[in-house]
Structure 1
Amino acid sequence: MVGWVKLNTDGSFAENGTAGAGMVLRDDRGNVIYSACRELFSCREILEAELCACMEGLSFAIQRSDLPIIIEMDSIVEVKLIQAMDI
């Protein structure tokens, strides 16, 4: 969408307790503005990893762009939790 940036986030969690987060911020032409991945040290489940990835990605997006942000994630549970928040 012209005049917007798009943030894709994803969290991962393995049964051995390791977790990670990934995020990519792109402009309206698809050019990468920022991308990162990192290990998460205090997650207890996949939903927590997904939410951590979203929060960290959004923080970076706000720092790197003044444009409105479209967020895309693959966890329907996470999307519903965020949509249900009373802001």
Structure 2
Amino acid sequence: DNDSNEAEDESPKPYTLVTSTENKHSVVARLEDELTRVQRAKSQAIATLSKLNIEKQKIALIKEKDDVEIEDTSETDAVIYGENISSE
């Protein structure tokens, strides 16, 4: 009896194989679409970085301008208001 069961177990079992093929033109078109999307995002990122750099430069110029405008006016104040500047 065991010999007959072993013979049945060795018999080939049915299976299903499913394959999928894709037209190379559709693959190329899909890759081109993805590349276009990535290039668009890259261009947008570069533009944003450029704007940020311009804003940083503006801030630096404003800060530099403010630093120049803030100067010691104690001598002028002394002349105008009659304060004694030699007491420092």
TM-score exceeds 0.5: no
- Structure with the higher fraction of residues in helix conformation: 2
TM tier, shorter chain?
under 0.3
More contact order relative to length (CA 8 Å, sep ≥ 6): 1
Q: Normalising to structure 1: TM-score of the pair?
A: 0.26
Larger Rg: 2
Q: Normalising to structure 2: TM-score of the pair?
A: 0.26
- Structure with the higher fraction of residues in strand conformation: 1
